[in-house]
Chain A
Amino acid sequence: MRLATRRKLLQASVLSAPLLWTFLFLFLPYMILTTYSFYEKKFPTFVPAFQFGNYYQLISDPQYYQVIFRSGWIGGLTAICALLLAYPFCYFLVFVVKSARVRLALYMAVIIPLWVSYLLRAYTWKTILGYEGILNSFLVWAGFLSEPTDIFIYNKFSMVLTLTYIFIPFTVMPIYTSLEKIPRNLIEASKDLGAGSFLTFLKVTLPLSMPGVIAGMTFTFCLTSGDFLAPFLVGGPDGFLIANVMITQFGAALNWPLGSALSIIMLIVVLTIISLSDRFQRAGRLDLG
């Protein structure tokens, strides 16, 4: 057999498994979802059709478009909170901490919770914020409250807090990397040219870390707005996000076409955000050599 032929065969055999996997478990389900999203619901089941009724329902019924907006709002709020916490932390790690060992330890302290089950981490906040939780017990014990309150949980505050905690590693990682990649002599050059620490941050450090900021916010936004466990555990009755509605449509409501349409809309939103963020990152990704 010729070398070129052999090489092609080898390539095909190596690539076929992942390609097949991708096709069967990603591409095919997307196709099925898309098809279903045009079906018509006829209680108690649904019939094949090609119509836009499901999509129309999603954009005209406040019950649905509000949940889409809420998901975006919670996702955006969480991404901003995570950024405001992660950026100073990463800056501290990269520019202030002198010892490499301490830096690694602090970095790992943020990353390690990713090893712990997501459910457990979300549940932890229930035990902290809940009616009989740690916070309430403390406030009652300290005499600030006469009896426990549930103002800490089942609202937007508890949702954003929990989601920020859960997804902050995804903000920290890209920001840390982008700050670490900035050559130190650029910062020295800025100071040498007359800029103080604040101006140097504003004009050199911040612009050069923007790719990390964009990547981190995109991760957190997409993961948060697609989340369904946190609303379930700490979100309360009006805290449902888009994923919770999808589950209802595919489950109790038995309205697969509407659920599919919702999934497709979510998919389009997320893909749009990712491609936009990718474009921004590309524009910001510079040759640091």
Chain B
Amino acid sequence: MPAIIEVQNVFKQFGDGVIAVNDVSLSVEEGEFVTLLGPSGCGKTTMLRLVAGFESPERGKILLGGEDVTESPPYSRAVNMVFQDYALFPHMTVFENVAYGLKVSGVPKAEIGPAVDRALRTVEMQTQGDRQPHELSGGMRQRIALARALVREPRVLLLDEPLAALDANLRDQMRVELKHLHDRLGLTFLMVTHDQTEALVMADRVVLMNNGKIAQEGTPTDIYEHPQSTYVANFIGASNLMQGSVVDGSGDMVTISTGGGQLKASGSVAMHKALQGNVMVCVRPEKVHLLTNGQDAGDMNAIGGTVEELLFHGSSVRIKVNLDSGEPFLVDMQMKAPTASSGLPERGAQVRVAFTPENTSMFPAEASR
């Protein structure tokens, strides 16, 4: 499958000296749903604006469908953008807004009407054509903005924090709808978001950015389960990080010595070879079992500690454990028992946290900045 977007070694510095994008390369395949994720100021929006043509890079190339568009203005690129606050034209009706992109590029009038209707139907807004944007709710404006971008049949749809301006319930609903829309249209989506849940739920591939560089890219599960740096582990979900060093690696199991004792982690031999020396061990809180006195850990790694605090989260309880080595450790317990309190340890109870070698991931300590 050929890459539809090809960003090659792009460097963008703003007038005030801020380096927004620092030598980044990224390639997006046709039909993929890719999210650029990161905190504000990490360069993700600049990346999107570079692809749209609102910014031009100091160095590097941008290719769309194999064609170099680095110096092309936005109006000659086969991409369309859904803006963060929708940017609907306030002096036009919904219909005129959607028709705008066809009208200005000289599409015959007879074709505009049916095309606009089709686009409005795609977002289930076919009855709203005569209304003014300010009469619509946030969710409706969002759909109109989508229709306006889709009506031009772009090769790539760019979405700049499309859900950020919606309230929480609507956001959940639109997440699913956007994903369905992507699957239905088979179009390439490139979306910017600072919301990790949004990125994990919607994307085929997540590109996590930090300080103008790509920190890690991969499928949502890959990024979640195998973070390659402290930054990634902390940005996506909660994690327990422990410093350690590899003491023994054989077969598909490696032994790491940490402050809490020796731990076993699984993985390929090649990977372990690359991880000679200091490593960070990462365990997700929901992968941890809490063992009270006497329970057998079996093949799992186990570290002793004291329960310090219990935080009720509705469907789960987060338990803060103080390891014997003094480090804090988080455990998430699903609330499967009929009452909230059953099966939970008391505060101050002596426990052991246990996790399987499969759920113990690690990365070189050098990568932690």
A196 contacts which chain B residues (CB < 8 A)? 73, 75
Q: Is the CB of B91 within 8 A of A199?
A: no
Once the chains bind, are B104 and A287 in contact (CB under 8 Å)? no
Contacting B at CB under 8 A, from A208-240, are 208
B235 contacts partner chain A, Cβ-Cβ < 8 Å: no
A7: CB under 8 A from chain B? no
B134 at interface by CB-CB < 8 Å: yes
CB-CB under 8 A from A80, the residues of chain B are: none
Chain B residue at minimum C-beta to C-beta distance from A195: B104
* Chain B residues within an 8 Å CB radius of A204: 89
Chain B 35-70 interface mask (CB, 8 Å, partner A; 1/0): 000000000000000001110000000000000000
Q: Inside 8 A of A284's CB, which chain B residues have their CB?
A: 91
In the complex with contacts A185-B85, A287-B134, A289-B134, A193-B90 CB distance below 8 A = no
Q: Are B100 and A286 in contact (CB under 8 A)?
A: no
In the bound assembly, the distance between CA atoms of A196 and B15 in angstroms comes to 25
Question: Does B134 contact A190, Cβ atoms closer than 8 Å?
Answer: no
- Distance from B321 Cβ to chain A, minimum over Cβ atoms (Å): 48
A199 to B133 alpha-carbon distance, docked (Å) = 21
A-B contact count (CB 8 A): 75
Contact of B90 among A190, A192, A194, A288 (CB under 8 A): A288
B267 on interface, CB distance cutoff 8 Å: no
In Å, the complex CA distance between A185 and B145 comes to: 12
Given contacts A287-B90, A287-B134, contact A189 B104 (CB under 8 A): no
Report yes or no: A194 in contact with B81, Cβ–Cβ below 8 A.
no
> Nearest-CB distance from A90 to chain B (Å)?
19
- Contact residues in A for B148 (Cβ distance below 8 Å): 189, 193
B181 CB within 8 Å of chain A: no
- The reply to whether B91 and A194 form a contact with Cβ atoms under 8 Å apart is no
Known: A189-B81, A192-B74, A195-B75. A203 touches B104 (CB 8 A): yes
Contact check: which of B52, B75, B84, B133 meets A194 at CB < 8 Å?
B75
| B-chain residues with CB within 8 Å of residue A199 when the two chains form the complex | 104
A207:B91 contact, CB within 8 angstroms: yes
Q: Say which residue of B83, B91, B101 sits within 8 Å of A188 (CB atoms).
A: B83
Q: Report B31 CB to chain A, min CB distance, Å.
A: 21
A251 on the B face (CB < 8 A): no
Q: In the complex, what's the smallest C-beta–C-beta distance from A207 to chain B, in angstroms?
A: 5
Q: Does B169 contact A (CB under 8 A)?
A: no
